[in-house]
Amino acid sequence: MDNDELAIRSLIADWQIASEEGDIDRLHSMMSDDVVFLMPGQAPMRGKDTFIAAFREGMQHFRIESEGKIEELQVNDDVAYCWTHLSVTVTPYRNGLPMKRSGNTLTILRKQHGNHWVIVRDANMLTAQPANPS
């Protein structure tokens, strides 16, 4: 595994940890300014600041836990893509049952100055999973 692949794998793992911890500063450093997130049934979420505002709002109401497995990672000079299978559980802080979503994501990354990889596009194709009967 080369240094770029290791750096990207580390970024993906760090993204999950920062999301769970609500670490806005770390998430901010992992995205390009012009990042775009694509999600089923929603308008594209354009820009780092738009993502951070939505994330900050969500963290006031929910706790996030996630698990991911990188299925494929390809690096070509200063651009890479990563296909990941992801499972996310979003649990309300107050009333309500945990919501589980899982599926595939396709992330495009770009290497910036100083060999720092950032997310530039992310297509999130997670779907709701049935609740476990109690």
- Tens of pLDDT, residues 1-58: 799 999 999 999 999 999 999 999 999 999 999 999 999 999 999 999 999 999 999 9
Query: Which residue(s) pair with 45 in the sheet?
Result: 37
Residue 43 has a pLDDT of 97
**Is residue 134, in this structure, part of any structural domain at all?**
no
Q: Is the pTM of this model over 0.85?
A: yes
Total domains, the chain: 1
Residue 31 has a pLDDT of 98
Residue 19 has a pLDDT of 95
Residue 35 has a pLDDT of 99
Residue 133 pLDDT grade (very low, low, confident, very high; cuts 50, 70, 90): low
Residue 58 has a pLDDT of 94
Q: Write the CATH number for 29.
A: 3.10.450.50
Identify the H or E element spanning 100.
Answer: strand 99-112
- Cα–Cα distance for residue pair 100/64, rounded to 1 Å: 10
Residue 132 has a pLDDT of 65
Asked whether 103 and 84 are in contact (CB, 8 A), the reply is no
For residue 121, what are the domain limits? 3-128
Identify the H or E element spanning 46.
Answer: strand 45-46
How many helices and strands, by DSSP H and E, does the chain display? 3, 7
- Cα–Cα distance for residue pair 77/79, rounded to 1 Å: 6
The neighbour count for residue 114, using CB atoms within 10 Å, is 5
Residue 1 has a pLDDT of 77
pLDDT in tens, 81-132: 999 999 999 999 998 899 999 999 999 999 998 889 999 999 999 999 987 6
DSSP state of 17: H
**Is residue 92, in this structure, part of any structural domain at all?**
yes
**Is residue 133, in this structure, part of any structural domain at all?**
no
